Structure 1
Amino acid sequence: MCGICGLLSLDGATPPDPAQLRAMRDALAHRGPDGEGEHLAGPVALGARRLALVDVEHGDQPIANEDGAIQVVLNGEIYNHGVLRRGLQRAGHRFATRCDTEVLVHLYEEHGPAMVERLRGMFAFALWDGREGRLLLARDPFGIKPLLYAADGRRLAFASELKALLRLVDVPRDLDEDALATYLSVNAVPAPRTMLRAVRKLPAGHLLVAGNGTLRIERYAHGRPLPAEALRDGDEAALAAELRDRVRDSVRAHLRADVPVGVLLSGGVDSGLLAAIAAEETPGRLPTFTVGFAERSFDETVPAREVAERLGSDHHELVVEPGDAALLADVARSIDEPRGDATALPYWLAARYAGTRVKAVLSGEGGDELFAGYQTYTASRLGPAAARAAALAAPVVARLPSSSRRLSLDFRIRRLALGAGLDALERHHAFKEILSAEQRAAVAMPGRLGGADPLEVHRRLFAEAGDAEALARLQHVDAGTFLADDLLVQADRAGMAHGVEVRVPFLDPVVAELAWALPDRHKLRGGQTKRLLRLAAAPLLPRAIVDGPKRGFVPPAAAWLRGELEPVARDILGPETLRRHGILRPEAVTALLDRHAARREDLSRPIWALMALTLWRDAVLGAASGDRDPTPVSGVPSAP
């Protein structure tokens, strides 16, 4: 695990500045506290910070082939590097280390850019081919590891995090108005956009190839649900056993390290299954970590403790309290993008806590998207009739005090009502939407919102899976948006902020291949979500966990924002700050706060999203620009 960065002269006129490379690399020191390295030659400069997990003594980056013509820096893990290494050795390649990074240079010598199709892992890497004058950037199929870039006609700059690119003073800081509108709608900014017009994310499963004055981006991974006629059906018990074996194979791969590996344990079936298998595969006691809350309906410590006791793990618990919100600016600075979900705080604290004892943890991201774990999938099955019924009930519910409980009945009725008369994708989105189009227009300052469709990427993914079953199409949308550009961003940044690698075994080709081949009925039946995954976990976990509701590090944000956190929110979203930023209308934001505090509606999600945006503006963008409001730079194009 590392932080990587680099520069490439596209026009051939100006070689990279070593000082700029080192400034970018220094901004990534938290991602790699165990070492640093660089390669500068002609038009290219590569930099890396290293978190040493495999071949601790010999894996410093960049790593080169035998004659030094090919250089690579890697952020992530290649889980099939042993198999690849043996094949490459038979082909005559010589290795100097045991680390997975070295496999990349030799694999490239054999297969060129098509090498990425042979990799099993989570990765973002940069590879320089000095013979061809070609730079290859690649990102894994699910987007587990990040890679951002800024390009104009003369230079390409790339890095694992935005804060490194912002060390380059000539990268424009002006906001992408379309990205802002999308964020206020879906709580994230799907790739390729970022919140800045001049910076882009390399999308999951894509390559960027640059050199000799050219730059192109191409997709190499096309994982998605299978067409309905190609699905695997059959005996459910046999499929569950196969799934359990596949998850075990993935967990074994994700446990490989020369340092201890733990598990983030939420008390739900996803992380419980990972922990149960990891405990069987780990010599000694498996370290497990969970966070809880004083509010009983949100607290996960009791079910997590039950799992830990059954497994005999070395269990650690942390209780998160409203006072921990004092760290929200640190969270915003670490996550590097606006992360409007309240889970960001407890997840960041869990990663910090785990980092005091281990260097890597397994986490359950991807289980909900692959096996249909969200209540929104159940809601989508209710169809238009339920939405119309909810719309009839909504005026009555609106007159009642809003509950602060998790997924309360009034919240669900209001959300279902929003989907009345909409198609399947729109109904799915309505249940999760942060601010409607009218609310976005009311809350944003004039001229700040772009005209792009906030669901542009969602619609493309939904259409792409058009030959799959109905539920699978929604899962494909969530995997390509909410998972890739929200949950995995949080996992990567929270872990790396504390020198911890977060590994996600569900997002492994071995597991995903089966998940994408399952008929809808093996994932959602009646009101039960994740049916096959629960059956796979049944022999290993307590019955109450297997049959229990979805769990996660979700704080009682609605209650906090009506209690101890209300003055904190009003301070963060104070009129003076908002006027200085020039992004949000102070009076509209205050109205949201007032409506929530008066219990007229649960507006905790939009309030938290606006807090995250404001904190990001100060902690990331403000710090990079000397707290000057970003203004458009004429003549500088958006990144491609």
Structure 2
Amino acid sequence: MISNKGYNDERLLGSRRNERERAESVRMAVSNPEAEIIEEGNDVWMVAATPDLSVRPALEDGADFEEVRSLLVESRGEYSVVQVSADDELTIRAHRGITSAYDIYLTRASNGDVIVTDLFRNALSHLAVDDRTVTKDIIADHLLYRTTPTGSYVTEIDRLGHGETLRWKITSDTLEWSQSETLGASRRSDSRNPVGRLETAMERAISYDDCEDVVTMLSGGVDSTLLHTFLPSETPSTSAAFDAPEFSFEIDYAKEASALLDSDHDFRIFDESSFCTRLEDTIDAIGMPPQQLQSPTIDAAFQNDRYDTYVNGMLCDSLFGMGASLPRKVWWTRPLRYLPREVLQLNTHRRMAGQMLRSPWDPVGMAQQFSQYLPLEYVSEFVGKDIVERRQLSRLCYVRSLVPLVDAAPSFAAHMDWGHWIEFFCENTVNDYRQIAHARGKSMRAPFASTVVAELALSLPSPHRYVDGLQDKHVPKKLLKRRLPSYETDKPKGDGNLPESRYLREGPLVEAQEQYAIPEFVPSSNWADVVERQPGMGWILVSWAIWRDRVLREDDVTEAPSTRAVEVTTGTVA
């Protein structure tokens, strides 16, 4: 059965699939240092799961793939699993958990063999330059979104979606995709004791067997500070930053939170003049162009030799509220949309009210633009309006297949619900940051990506899940106040971004514009035109241009140094 994910019309391996030789082996390449590689008889397994869950005893007792998958689902954590069977016919079976950001990439290498890996760079390294195809859909996704939940930056490399199961018989080249897991909740619209229930869910999500070498990625915000309170008191914390003056208050937040937590905080700061070089290094490491300006900062944090396992608070916003107070104000005062457009504030009010008076299924409604990085009209100039609308519809269809949301009415509650779940599943930067961690030989845990936490969020009614009166993200804030009373949960918090505009006009990214040609799909051949006319577009294009020249068109891409690999052929495991 072909999954209805919508992101890739032609699932797996792209248009060149049938032109290659039949596969004689499967290479399992694992970069996550916490993933288990288990050889049992003629089978090789890869299991990535948190909290700590070993399936080895079950395999020793003769468990098959469905039994192992069920064991992982019942854990209600975050998990992905791959089985490569070397019996009479080479077969891959794989499953990605419904909330999992443990990626599983698959491709048929240029020599015909099959590659299954958790790191995009590893898969790309097995494709010759001529076997790497970039489509307009891929370009549109890079311009529109921070990340996508399936597919990749070349059509020949596919990736399992949330809750998706694959069975691939290699010799006969038979593929079966199925949506075997969706997100559910035992009780919907249950607003009883959300703070206590979140505390219970977090305790389960962070019930690690071993906290040695674990460190919190502490930004000083509510999310990372809250999760640190669930770790042992001696757990250290770390953060990294470039010395941009505009970012100094974020540095102060991390220091203040560390003082309140009494954590041993390791702070790393870098000269912003090195940003371009570090960006190139990050792109080389992961083999794809990051859309997040903070990616080199995250990469710098992972290159700290003191720690092996990082705990990150991302996805809390997606589950429990991200800027919902302003839309609520607009919804309450929506009749003001009829007033003349006299000032910018009223203009913004009219625009937001108009978005919420559309269905959340509308491509230009608030829900579908909730986590949009660039205006749709900017991207339409590059790839066409029809492609942009199709990509928006793909995200909606994807989320509809995973979450039991039915309210399509033009209301504040419906837009918040759809918008946040689109953010959770389709703008999940845990995937990208985890790619960086694994490329550096480190592991990253994300408690808010656990199924138990997502199920709790789903059970809370919208909009109360996201906003209480005009207080954003009130559930985790109230829980943090309970666990760390001295923390000021209402203090203003920045967005954590570096000064993109200054970097492009007079800072370290000027160097990149001089060294790398503007991407071919851009109507203008002048970097300055794009930087000035379309704010936000310049950085994304710089990232793409660096990737194109240093990775996409280079034949010398190799697997990450920390990769563990197993070769499987019929009847043998090596």
| TM-score normalised to structure 2 length | 0.79
Partners in 1 of 2:295 and 2:539 — Cα distance?
Answer: 10
434 and 370 in structure 1: CA distance in 2 versus 1, 3 angstrom threshold: closer
The structure that is helix-richer by fraction is 1
Q: Which amino acid aligns with 2:39?
A: A
The offset of 1:558, in angstroms, is: 3.1
Task: State whether structure 2 residue 330 is matched by structure 1 residue 382.
Answer: yes
Structural mapping, 1:51-62, within 5 Å = 61=37
What's 1:427 paired with?
A: 366
Q: Which amino acid aligns with 2:42?
A: A
The offset of 1:233, in angstroms, is: 2.1
Task: State whether structure 2 residue 189 is matched by structure 1 residue 231.
Answer: yes
What's 1:474 paired with?
A: 419
Task: State whether structure 2 residue 209 is matched by structure 1 residue 270.
Answer: no
Q: Is the 8 A contact 2:220 2:258 kept in 1?
A: no
Structural mapping, 1:297-316, within 5 Å = 299-316=249-266
452 and 411 in structure 1: CA distance in 2 versus 1, 3 angstrom threshold: closer
Partners in 1 of 2:456 and 2:49 — Cα distance?
Answer: 22
What's 1:31 paired with?
A: none
Judge which range, 537-546 or 212-221, deviates more: 537-546
What's 1:186 paired with?
A: 145
Partners in 2 of 1:215 and 1:519 — Cα distance?
Answer: 39
240 and 385 in structure 1: CA distance in 2 versus 1, 3 angstrom threshold: closer
Task: State whether structure 2 residue 301 is matched by structure 1 residue 350.
Answer: yes
Task: State whether structure 2 residue 159 is matched by structure 1 residue 201.
Answer: yes
Judge which range, 286-295 or 563-572, deviates more: 563-572
The offset of 1:336, in angstroms, is: 3.0
Task: State whether structure 2 residue 298 is matched by structure 1 residue 331.
Answer: no
1:218 to 142, 157, 178: 178
Q: Secondary structure at the match of 2:207?
A: helix
What's 2:461 paired with?
A: 519
Q: Which has the higher contact order (CA 8 A, sep 6+)?
A: 2
Q: Secondary structure at the match of 2:433?
A: helix
Task: State whether structure 2 residue 101 is matched by structure 1 residue 144.
Answer: yes
462 and 71 in structure 1: CA distance in 2 versus 1, 3 angstrom threshold: closer
The offset of 1:297, in angstroms, is: 6.3
Q: Is the 8 A contact 2:289 2:543 kept in 1?
A: yes
CA offset digits 1:202-253 (Å, max 9, x no partner): 1122111011521111122201578xx832122xxx4312322321232222
Q: Which amino acid aligns with 1:379?
A: P
Segments of structure 1 that go 5 or more residues without pairing to the other structure are: 1-6, 17-42, 95-105, 398-408, 597-602, 627-640
Q: Which amino acid aligns with 1:534?
A: K
Task: State whether structure 2 residue 213 is matched by structure 1 residue 260.
Answer: yes
What is the percent sequence identity of the aligned residues? Answer: 17
The offset of 1:540, in angstroms, is: 2.3
Q: List, as ranges, runs of 4+ consecutive aligned residues in structure 1 with deviation greater than 6 Å.
A: 409-415
Q: Which amino acid aligns with 1:585?
A: P
Task: State whether structure 2 residue 31 is matched by structure 1 residue 46.
Answer: no
Structural mapping, 1:28-39, within 5 Å = none
Over the residues paired in the alignment, what is the CA RMSD in angstroms? 3.8
78 and 294 in structure 1: CA distance in 2 versus 1, 3 angstrom threshold: closer
CA offset digits 1:574-603 (Å, max 9, x no partner): 6xx13xx5232334643122347xxxxxx1
Partners in 2 of 1:481 and 1:174 — Cα distance?
Answer: 22
Partners in 2 of 1:480 and 1:454 — Cα distance?
Answer: 14
Partners in 2 of 1:302 and 1:259 — Cα distance?
Answer: 27
Task: State whether structure 2 residue 548 is matched by structure 1 residue 567.
Answer: no
CA offset digits 1:520-570 (Å, max 9, x no partner): 214312321111111111122255442234556422323433442462353
The offset of 1:381, in angstroms, is: 6.5
CA offset digits 1:402-451 (Å, max 9, x no partner): xxxxxxx899779848948744352244454344454334346xx99957
Q: Which amino acid aligns with 1:81?
A: L
1:364 to 310, 313, 318: 313
Q: Secondary structure at the match of 2:83?
A: strand
How many residue pairs end up in the alignment?
522
Q: Secondary structure at the match of 1:210?
A: strand
What's 2:199 paired with?
A: 244
Structural mapping, 1:63-212, within 5 Å = 63-65=38-40, 68-74=41-47, 76-79=48-51, 81=53, 88=58, 93=60, 106-108=62-64, 111=67, 114=70, 116-131=72-87, 133=89, 134-151=91-108, 156-169=114-127, 172-188=131-147, 190-211=148-169
Segments of structure 2 that go 5 or more residues without pairing to the other structure are: 1-12, 408-412, 558-574
Q: Is the 8 A contact 2:164 2:181 kept in 1?
A: yes
Partners in 1 of 2:545 and 2:258 — Cα distance?
Answer: 38
Q: Which amino acid aligns with 1:186?
A: Y
Q: Is the 8 A contact 1:173 1:198 kept in 2?
A: yes
What's 2:569 paired with?
A: none
Task: State whether structure 2 residue 437 is matched by structure 1 residue 508.
Answer: no
Partners in 1 of 2:184 and 2:421 — Cα distance?
Answer: 6
Q: Which amino acid aligns with 2:49?
A: E
What's 1:586 paired with?
A: 524
The offset of 1:141, in angstroms, is: 2.0
CA offset digits 1:502-532 (Å, max 9, x no partner): 1011221222221111122143123211111
The offset of 1:175, in angstroms, is: 0.8
The offset of 1:361, in angstroms, is: 1.0
The offset of 1:498, in angstroms, is: 2.4
Partners in 2 of 1:157 and 1:411 — Cα distance?
Answer: 52
299 and 356 in structure 1: CA distance in 2 versus 1, 3 angstrom threshold: farther
The offset of 1:500, in angstroms, is: 1.7
Q: Secondary structure at the match of 1:145?
A: coil
Q: Secondary structure at the match of 1:375?
A: coil
1:453 to 390, 399, 404: 390
452 and 424 in structure 1: CA distance in 2 versus 1, 3 angstrom threshold: closer
Partners in 1 of 2:455 and 2:506 — Cα distance?
Answer: 46
| TM-score normalised to structure 1 length | 0.71
Q: Secondary structure at the match of 2:202?
A: helix
